[in-house]
A and B are shown apart, each in its own frame.
Chain A
Amino acid sequence: MEIVYVYTKKRSEFGRQCNFSDRPAELHVDILPDPSLAANFIDRDPCDVPIQCTQEMSEHEVNTERIEYETCGINHVEGGWPKDINPQEMEQTIRFRKKVEKDENYVNTIMQLGSHMEHCIRQNNAIDIYQEYFEEEEVVEETEEQPSAKTINVFRDPNEVKRTATSLSWHPDGSRKLAVAYSSLEFQKVTKDMSYDSYIWDIENPNKPEMTLKPVSPLVCLEYNSKDSHILVGGSYNGQIAYWDTRKGSQPVEMSTIEHSHRDPVYKVIWLQSKTGTDFFSASTDGQVLWWDIRKMSEPTERLVLDPTKEGKLENALGAISLEFETTMPTKFMVGTEQGLVVSCNRKAKTPAEKIVCTYSGHHGPIYALQRNPFFPKNFLTVADWTARIWSEDIRESSIMWTKYHTASLSDGCWSPVRPSVFFTVKMDGTLDVWDFLFKQNDPTLSLKVCDEALYSIRVQDNGRFLACGSQLGTTTLLEISSGLCTLQKNEKALAAMMFERETKREKILEARHREMRLKERSRSEQSKEDEAKEGEGEESSEELVARIEKEFYEMIETEMKNRGKDEKKEKELDKVRNGDG
């Protein structure tokens, strides 16, 4: 509060006498007590009043920095004694020591060495040269090692008459077992004493199969149920489907009735993703794709006829030889046909005509393998005739990437489940090819001759490290590939995605150009037809065309043979030189 008052006073009035007088007490305020007012208030009962009578104290925590103690020792090995002195002999060592100590330079050298040694010891104690710096960053070293594969085990068909291992399936939990379906797909090569059995092998024991499955007709394909690892379903040569429970023995638990099964060998069975885990569907070259439920095998639950004219007529149908189903896209599935077309279908369509969505053409022969890339489901791999092709769902006219035409035809293939850019193919000359298109596009990264006879099937384990391939004589080989081929490299997903996009774009542009050119051609040819009729001058007739093409074809073959002959000669000369040296 700031109150300032300035006043003036006459000098004559200073020190003026004060006339004091007493004023008696005056009552200023008299308020009489009024109990009625108390009614406005309530007694507070009880009253809590906390009282504490202590010293005020403060609390602090202090912890010194932890020092870690470690005891280290130094390994000191005795050595350095000259040749004629035996270090065990006390006399000799003492004598030698005395001799050395008398040497003139002894003291100087010791002094010098002493300071060096002291420095080293101090350094040793100060810095741990083996300490791991940057421990947290797990730098995945890019292995410079060569990609390689080695055979772990070979499972041979125990029967006298060997059959082809047409299909393989890994056990879903931990992949310790492999189910192999054996049958003979060669026309009329089935002998009376050929066994119908298929086997489940334990990969540790190649001598004897762990379990035998005895179907009524040899199995062409076999699949484990990923939800229940005891159930397997198999499609057989006569078109029937059977399912086994490994707890119940070698006989199938139930088989489909002959009237409602396929009319041709069942080439592929795949389990579907459903709540009950008992649905699967099968494909066969009779042109049908059938859906089944294990609990009721007497009749299929649904049927689709692969008629590209969308009329549902069996006569026009294409024979199905492979199926593709990805659990992340449960309404779509694809069928690879004998005629070289891949048909993409929609399961949820109401009418059979709508079920077939589109077809992809480009292969010349039956499509033996069909699989979507596990990382980029829009792209899928097909293996047929002499090439393997990668397609994008959006481009129907041609594939976006393809391998060169090989000398032997390809019989099966699959993607690696751990690396988006790696896939495997097997050929009829017994070789296994591992392709990594981010590393090399013209040739396989690794080409391995597994056996002398043709390979018919290949399956990779879920960890991407082990794979099994089955051959014509029923020999299943288990291979392990080098870690470089089954560990995800840095940026691999991004690079693979970019590559797919690029190729897809290229194909789209090419398609557009083709369409333009075709339109131009058509308009031009209509004009030229009129001109031709007037002039009568024809181009090469069809026979001349055929003759010319034949001549070209034979010339090509001859040059190829000559090249091969040259290569062989070179090889022989090299061998001679090697043998000559050795």
Chain B
Amino acid sequence: SVLDKLTESELFTVAVEGAIGGNAYQHSRVNQWTNNVVEQCLSQLSKLGKPFKYIVTCIIMQKNGAGLQTACSCFWDNTTDGSCTVRWENKSMYCIVSVFGLAI
């Protein structure tokens, strides 16, 4: 299952590209964008049809010289659960999507 996650990073990049690709950062639309990204990813995941609980988070940050560090730590069953983080950027913003999958 962890292997599956890694391969699915492609899926997420496509989803993000579809949601916000080609746009410049606009504060008024960021809310809408994060919602779209998360929804797209989640719908793609549920299409896989695996018995997993999913958690998807999305961060969109404007490229204006600031730095960003995120980390996470988990207490789970390593054999059955896993996570994946995808980083996407264009000229004006960064988009970081993290997906956690927990076996039922």
Contacts and interface: CB of A to CB of B under 8 A. Distances in A.
Interface of A: 1, 3-5, 7, 9, 18-38, 40-41
Nearest to B81: A23
A29 B70 CA distance: 5
For the complex of A and B, the 4 pairs showing the least CB-CB separation, nearest first, are A33-B67, A38-B65, A25-B73, A28-B85
Given A3-B42, A31-B67, A37-B64, 4 more contacts: A21-B78, A26-B71, A28-B98, A30-B68
A20 B77 contact: yes
A7 B52 CA distance: 9
A36 B94 CA distance: 16
Interface of B: 39, 42-43, 46, 49, 51, 59, 61, 63-79, 85, 87, 92, 94, 96, 98, 104
B78 A23 contact: yes
Q: Which of A3, A5, A20, A21 has the most CB of B within 10 A?
A: A5
Contacts of B92: 40
Contacts of A37: 63-65
Contacts of A32: 67
B77 A18 contact: yes
A363 B86 CA distance: 115
A24 B85 CA distance: 16
A26 B69 CA distance: 11
Contacts of B39: 1
B51 A7 contact: yes
Given A20-B76, A28-B72, A29-B87, A3 B65 contact: no
A3 B72 contact: no
Nearest to A28: B85
A36 B78 CA distance: 41
A548 to B, nearest CB: 115
Choose among A20, A23, A32, A40 the residue with the greatest number of B CB atoms under 10 Å from its CB: A23
Nearest to A23: B74
Contacts of A9: 51, 104
Contacts of B43: 1, 3
8 contacts: A20-B76, A21-B76, A21-B77, A23-B76, A29-B69, A34-B67, A38-B64, A38-B65
A5 B72 contact: no
A20 B75 CA distance: 6
A232 to B, nearest CB: 85
B77 A19 contact: yes
Contact of A33 (B66, B79, B87, B98): B66
Contacts of A24: 73
A442 B66 CA distance: 111
Contacts of A7: 51, 104
A31 B93 CA distance: 12
B41 to A, nearest CB: 11
A178 to B, nearest CB: 86
B49 A5 contact: yes
Contacts of B76: 20-21, 23
Contacts of B49: 5
A41 B98 CA distance: 29
A5 B52 CA distance: 10
A26 B73 contact: yes
Contacts of A19: 77-79
Contacts of B51: 7, 9
Given A28-B70, A32-B67, A23 B75 contact: yes
A28 B96 contact: yes
Contacts of B70: 27-29
Nearest to A7: B51
Contacts of A3: 42-43, 46
A22 B75 contact: yes
Contacts of B59: 29
Contacts of B71: 25-28
A5 B46 contact: yes
A31 B73 contact: no
B18 to A, nearest CB: 15
B10 to A, nearest CB: 18
Contact of A35 (B65, B75, B79, B96): B65
A30 B69 contact: yes
Most buried by B among A18, A28, A35: A28
Contacts of A33: 65-67
A36 B65 contact: yes
Nearest to B63: A37
Nearest to B96: A29
A34 B73 CA distance: 27
Nearest to B38: A1
